[in-house]
């Protein structure tokens, strides 16, 4: 293999880091190094030490080098795609002042509600940022920090997202991209810049924030000598600005905003997400109007409880994750960490319809159904916000592109097919977040368009599964319980 023909795409997720070594010319996945993260917290708290991410990146790169047999001299570039929304606060030396508040930390729900009201309601926020503050958003977490740990907020010399933190460690430059920045609720997708009025509302000095690159594939800089020594890579290779995990998955799929939701993506991971690239800027309180890594748009809706929640139910029942059948009369909403869509940050799991003859397998199947109906209803909201009717046969007949860990699970795939009634496509490429990051790294190294790079890679044939008859009985049964759970209760408190 000629020198400088391999790039590294890093997927720094909630639970682990993956470093994919990819042949720049063909897109062939040569190896994937892995290293776990540690997440702590109870009662709505979810935190991780950013230094753990840095060590995991080092370990994952070392494992990938060993597995691939690639010489370090052959590496041309590196890019990081990270979990969205996390709040990293640093001192003047670039060291974390406290563990990062993760996207699924729900303690900032009161701050989110107060911020929404302070600007004049959801419509005012979507007009500026494309999104309404919820507990997941970085702005809500910063406000929580100001109110609950004012000394830490006052001592903060830099505010970063998870991928920004790692990119700065690699390149020495404080830089982010439009995609991940759009998940903060202080970056305006309307203007393509930080919003001064929102920063003032948050008491946040723009000088604490990273520069916003034109795209995630822009060269942020070169790998510093210190980072090169830590990673066992050559100093001076290209470091891309990088992006958020969902934006990177869109790049890995070759989605670049050419159309409007022609092939929506459903990602089944710790969270459930639905998104599609678009050149139109939808603004609806029902979804997150994110930017894509290239500055176009990636309208997205996200649920908090997906594979991890269903795996927890399986563990409680002592069952294998695929040892499940349809739930019958039982409905189980697995809102174990609160919920984001619908916005129920203090919710807990809800079980109803239990009978003497209900089996453990049906209970597990009901957990799958609760999670899948929640994410498919989020898809319907996204379609409506973009001017499409979910009931239109032409719209409903378009395949769902299924990605994430759940896309490899038989029960997840079959439940999506049964409850959506749609054809389902499972991409042949694996590790799409890391693959998208690799395309960003290739862009930084060569100047090529990252979406075109990913689209041109031979990453394997997609698997197309034809539509099956839609289980409307289960859909309506779960939906009716979900609607009752999401209705405001007496006194305005909303729980599951």
Annotated binding site for substrate: 84-85
In angstroms, rounded to a whole number, what is the distance separating the alpha carbons of residues 376 and 476? 12
Helix axes 360-385 and 472-486, enclosed angle (nearest 10): 80
Binding residues: 84-85
Number of residues that this document lists for the chain: 496
| 3-state SS assignment for residue 341 | coil
Tell me, yes or no, if 245 is annotated catalytic: yes
Closest of 122, 85, 61, 480 to residue 270, by C-alpha = 85
Alpha-carbon gap, residue 314 to 336, rounded angstroms: 13
C-beta atoms surrounding 38 within 10 Å: 11
Cβ atoms of 202 and 139 within 8 Å: the answer is yes
Residue partners of 81: CB distance under 8 A and separation at least 6: 9, 10, 11, 12, 163, 216, 242, 243, 244, 245, 247, 248, 249, 433, 434, 436, 437, 440
Prior bond of 464 cis (ω within 30°): no
| Tokens found for residue 177 | 């991209």
Strands 211-212 and 219-222: unpaired
Distance between CA atoms of 236 and 238, rounded to whole angstroms?
6
- In which residue are the tokens 């606060």 written? 89
- For residues 277 and 281, what is the distance between their CA atoms, to the nearest angstrom? 10
Q: Detail the DSSP E strand segments found in 198-253.
A: 211-212, 219-222, 238-240, 243-244
Segments in 386-456 forming alpha helices (H): 393-396, 410-420, 432-446, 450-456
The radius of gyration computed from the CA coordinates of the chain, to the nearest angstrom, equals: 22
Cβ within 8 Å of residue 73, ≥6 positions away:
3, 4, 234
Q: Of 105, 245, 294, 343, which is the active-site residue?
A: 245
- The catalytic site residues sit at 245
């Amino acid at each position: 293999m000629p020198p400088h023909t391999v790039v590294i795409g890093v997927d720094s997720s909630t639970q682990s880091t993956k470093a994919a070594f990819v042949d720049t010319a063909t897109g062939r996945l040569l190896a994937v190094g892995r290293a776990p993260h540690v997440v702590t917290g109870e009662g709505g708290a979810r935190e991780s030490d950013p230094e753990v991410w840095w060590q995991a990146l080092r370990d994952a790169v070392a494992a990938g080098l060993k597995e691939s047999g690639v010489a370090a001299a052959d590496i041309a570039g590196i890019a990081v795609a990270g979990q969205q929304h996390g709040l990293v606060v640093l001192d003047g030396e670039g060291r974390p002042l406290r563990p990062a508040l993760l996207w699924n930390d729900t303690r900032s729900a009161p701050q989110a509600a107060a911020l929404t009201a302070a600007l004049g309601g959801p419509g005012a926020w979507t007009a500026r940022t494309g999104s309404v503050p919820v507990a997941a958003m970085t702005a809500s977490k910063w406000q929580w920090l100001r109110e609950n740990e004012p000394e830490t907020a006052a001592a903060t010399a830099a505010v970063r997202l998870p991928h920004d933190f790692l990119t700065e460690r690699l390149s020495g430059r404080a830089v982010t991209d439009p995609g991940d920045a759009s998940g903060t609720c202080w970056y305006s997708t309307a203007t393509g810049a930080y919003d001064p009025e929102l920063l003032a509302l948050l008491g946040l000095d723009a000088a604490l924030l990273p520069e916003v690159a034109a795209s995630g594939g822009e060269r942020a800089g070169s790998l510093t000598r210190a980072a090169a020594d830590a990673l066992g890579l050559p100093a001076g290779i290209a470091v891309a600005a990088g992006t958020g995990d969902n934006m990177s998955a869109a790049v890995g799929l070759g989605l670049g905003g050419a159309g409007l939701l022609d092939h929506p993506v459903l990602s089944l991971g710790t969270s459930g997400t639905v998104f599609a690239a678009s050149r139109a800027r939808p603004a609806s309180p029902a979804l997150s109007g994110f930017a894509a890594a290239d500055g176009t748009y990636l309208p997205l809706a996200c649920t908090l409880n997906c594979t991890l929640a269903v795996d927890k139910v399986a563990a409680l029942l002592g069952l294998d994750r695929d040892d499940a059948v349809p739930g019958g009369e039982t409905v189980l909403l697995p809102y174990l960490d609160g919920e984001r869509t619908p916005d129920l940050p203090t919710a807990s799991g809800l079980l109803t319809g239990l009978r003497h003859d209900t089996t453990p397998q049906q209970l597990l199947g009901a957990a799958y159904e609760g999670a899948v109906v929640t994410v498919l209803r989020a898809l319907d909201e996204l379609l409506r916000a973009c001017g499409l009717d979910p009931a239109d046969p032409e719209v409903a007949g378009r395949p769902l592109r299924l990605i994430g860990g759940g896309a490899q699970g038989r029960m997840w795939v079959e439940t999506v097919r049964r409850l959506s009634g749609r054809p389902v496509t499972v991409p042949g490429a694996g590790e799409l977040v890391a693959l998208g990051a690799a395309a960003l790294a290739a862009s930084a190294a060569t100047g090529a368009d990252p979406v075109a790079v990913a689209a041109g890679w031979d990453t394997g044939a997609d698997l197309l599964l034809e539509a099956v008859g839609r289980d409307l009985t289960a859909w309506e049964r779960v939906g009716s319980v979900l609607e009752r759970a999401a209705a405001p209760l007496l006194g305005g408190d909303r729980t599951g």
